[in-house]
Structure 1
Amino acid sequence: MESDSPGILKLEPTRVWRAYKGGKLLEEWHRAGNPQDGNFPEEWVASAITARNPGREAIAEEGLSRVSMPGGGPFLRELIESDPVSFLGRKHWEKYGRSMAVLVKLIDSLDRLIIQVHPDKEFAKKVLSSDYGKTEAWYIIGGRQIDGQDPYVLMGFKPGMNKERWRRLFEKQDIEGMLNALNKLTVSPGEVYLIEGGVPHAIGAGCFLIEIQEPTDYTLRVERKTQQGIVFPDEHCHQGSGFDKMFDCFHYDCYTEDEVKKRWRLSPKLLSSDRKAEHWALIDDEATDLFEMHRVSVREEFSHRTDERYCIIIITAGVGTIGSSGVQQNVGKGDLLFVPACLQEVRFEALVGPLEAILCFPPK
């Protein structure tokens, strides 16, 4: 590692407009003065991807993360493009080029999101001319009751659904029928769900979660308008595929609620534990080869070897320090960081309470 290699980068929060409301818990997380819900319910973390929002196409930089510096730092994407080997790692660069190959988000939903599906790799390549689909995973970090209802998600078709019946529900805009066609799962902090491309789903009201996904913003929608009355143009329903092909994006395998949990609710795996720290794999390469997510709980100190793979870090609790090569910086709940692949080791130290962090990784 050369002496002028980049160090760990602290990032500015990157709020992104969406067609549903939320975001109050995000603002509380960052200790904002007057936290409120609005149309910025998502925070994209270490993002080099621009958002796709109807009517906001002119905002070319929406979704891109900036490095936190006095007076304003550069976009992370600019730094990566200037030296992709140092930031992303040589093996990553040789396979994926300048693409980070993942996107990480924080989501706080006041509203239920519309029923949707994301493309798998085959559909994305064939129909959308994209090397990436949008398989994703959710780590539930909290939530709130909305109208007396606990946080929930919708996932997978119930038994009896097929393409023709699903299309008829869409054409009638029978929202109640579409909602009843999906399994509804109440969620709790600490749970992890994998949502493969092609699986119909929706994040319910009251969820606060970290999402890791393939690096696209392709969302195919079967509800023509949101609960707020925002109407989606045809293009933003089918993402350019056309309505006929849109229904080929869905996987019509059917599951009971227990089968959904067995297939897509992941069990965290304890990797190491001692008096100083615990280290868990929330999503590993047995679950998917598209990304990984770990959790560390540091009572005293913990070291992570990068193995020449970059890392995105979200501090979820506590106060402490994080550093590499003798350079440390203070961190606390809500801080967002990018660890370049050229660094050999990252060291965590807890100062006030356990220092809790989520570590997100690209494909190996």
Structure 2
Amino acid sequence: MSRADRSLSGKPFKLLKNRVWRTYSGGKFLEQWQGAQQAEDTSFPEEWVASTVIAKNVGREHIQEGLSLVALDNGQTAPLLDLIASDPEAYLGKAHTDRYGAQTAVLVKVLDASERLTIQVHPDRAFAADVFQSQFGKTEAWYVLGGRAIDGEEPYVLFGFKSGVTKERWRELFVRQDIAGMIDALHRIPVREGDVFLVEGGIPHAIGSGCFLIEIQEPTDLTLRVERTTPKGNAVPDLACHQGIGFERMLDCFHYGTHSIEEARGRWQKTPVLLLECEGGKQFELIGKDSTDRFRMHTIEVTGRLPMEAGGSFGIAIVISGSGTVAWSGGEMEIGQSDEVFIPAGADALAWSSKGAGPLKVVLCYPPA
């Protein structure tokens, strides 16, 4: 990596679009949001943002997908992973690299589902370390941007075991592939724009059809699935279900605590907290240290000029809507809807400005504090 490339560590820079193949379909709403003229649902329903993670897609191991790319000043592109490796402390911050080295410790996605995802679970950190020899599990959080009705069905999520579900009952449903029974074992929660959910490792869940959301998560692609056929009838290979650990071990990944729907909402649905309000706009905390120590997620609504204090760590920004600029001590960059921006720890005197008719709305994702 050249000295010129390492100089990007002193300023925010845009990331190239990065669509990733998945076992479910979607992406039409995502493409429209990104400005595509002929949007359609495909097998690429996810945009991976600031990703240093390679996707685990069974049957596509020969295709390396998932790593985010950066356009360099010389007209070439480079993986964000390589850029960070050229000077981890400058890009990620000293406190972060002291703990995680050149690992970002976070992954961000934009998801648009045209069908319900298969019911799944992600490992908590202890299970990931013991079974997958991974430093990270896959606790995640969702910020709902909106959605669409699919076949007359409004967006929803399935989340957490209902009262009465035991490991033995769950195993029976899995062995019989009683999909209706598995769906009925989970709480169904309608979602709307602005909703925030924390999905801890071990909690059964599925994103429903029509959901359009931003996901922040630990940086792995460890997903265990209990449905061997997708809702649209596509077979899910065994390896894609249990990730090589076998079905019995897969069932051990679930946390079998049960909750009423009120308890589930109270524990995992989060209310945004106003952190700052000034003449230039507002800043809200969506996921903070009181919710989890895995990552943080904020949002800003900029109506004028909104300065941001440097926190000594990097950030990942996604422009939800509006247009404007992001400025730093050495310059300014225009931004608009669906732009993805990496903000190195070395970027200082940051300020966001709105220049459109409406507010500039941005989601800001951060690694563990």
TM-score in same-fold range (> 0.5): yes
Partner of 2:86: 82
Partner of 1:303: 307
1:211, distance to aligned residue in structure 2 (A)? 0.2
SS at match of 1:198: coil
Kept in 1: contact 2:11–2:330 (CA 8 A): no
Q: Deviations over 1:236-292 (max 9, x none)?
A: 211122212111100011111111111100011101112211010011100001100
Partner of 1:363: 368
Kept in 2: contact 1:128–1:240 (CA 8 A): no
1:194 lines up with 2:193 in the alignment:
no
Q: Distance in 1 between matches of 2:308 and 2:82?
A: 26
Aligned counterparts, 1:1-364, within 5 A? 4=7, 5-60=9-64, 62-69=65-72, 71-352=75-356, 353-364=358-369
1:344, distance to aligned residue in structure 2 (A)? 2.3
Kept in 2: contact 1:119–1:198 (CA 8 A): yes
1:233, distance to aligned residue in structure 2 (A)? 2.2
1:146, distance to aligned residue in structure 2 (A)? 0.8
Q: Deviations over 1:65-123 (max 9, x none)?
A: 11135744211111011111111111111111111101000000000000000000110
What code does the residue aligned with 1:53 have? N
Q: Which deviates the most, 271-280 or 284-293? A: 271-280
Structure 1 vs Structure 2 CA RMSD: 1.4
SS at match of 2:78: coil
Runs of 5+ in structure 2 lacking a partner? 1-5
Kept in 2: contact 1:308–1:343 (CA 8 A): no
Q: Distance in 1 between matches of 2:53 and 2:309?
A: 27
Which TM-score applies when normalising by structure 2? Answer: 0.96
Q: Distance in 2 between matches of 1:72 and 1:334?
A: 22
Kept in 2: contact 1:54–1:232 (CA 8 A): no
Q: Which deviates the most, 257-266 or 221-230? A: 221-230
1:230, distance to aligned residue in structure 2 (A)? 2.5
Q: 1:153 to 1:72 in 2, by over 3 A?
A: farther
Q: Distance in 1 between matches of 2:86 and 2:116?
A: 40
Q: Distance in 2 between matches of 1:294 and 1:233?
A: 37
Q: Identity over aligned residues, as a percent?
A: 50
Q: Distance in 1 between matches of 2:165 and 2:107?
A: 31
Q: Distance in 2 between matches of 1:33 and 1:186?
A: 30
Q: Distance in 2 between matches of 1:218 and 1:17?
A: 15
Q: Distance in 1 between matches of 2:24 and 2:302?
A: 35
Q: Which deviates the most, 345-354 or 192-201? A: 345-354
Runs of 5+ in structure 1 lacking a partner? none
Partner of 2:3: none
Q: Distance in 2 between matches of 1:150 and 1:229?
A: 21
Q: Distance in 1 between matches of 2:305 and 2:242?
A: 48
What code does the residue aligned with 1:306 have? A
Which TM-score applies when normalising by structure 1? Answer: 0.97
Q: Distance in 2 between matches of 1:52 and 1:6?
A: 32
Kept in 1: contact 2:58–2:239 (CA 8 A): no
SS at match of 2:262: helix
Q: How many residues were matched structurally?
A: 362
Q: Distance in 2 between matches of 1:232 and 1:108?
A: 20
Q: Distance in 1 between matches of 2:10 and 2:279?
A: 32
Q: Which deviates the most, 304-313 or 291-300? A: 304-313
Q: Which deviates the most, 337-346 or 276-285? A: 337-346
Kept in 2: contact 1:153–1:186 (CA 8 A): yes
What code does the residue aligned with 2:68 have? S
What code does the residue aligned with 1:66 have? L
Query: Segments of 4+ in structure 1 off by > 3 A?
Result: 3-6, 68-72
1:306, distance to aligned residue in structure 2 (A)? 2.6
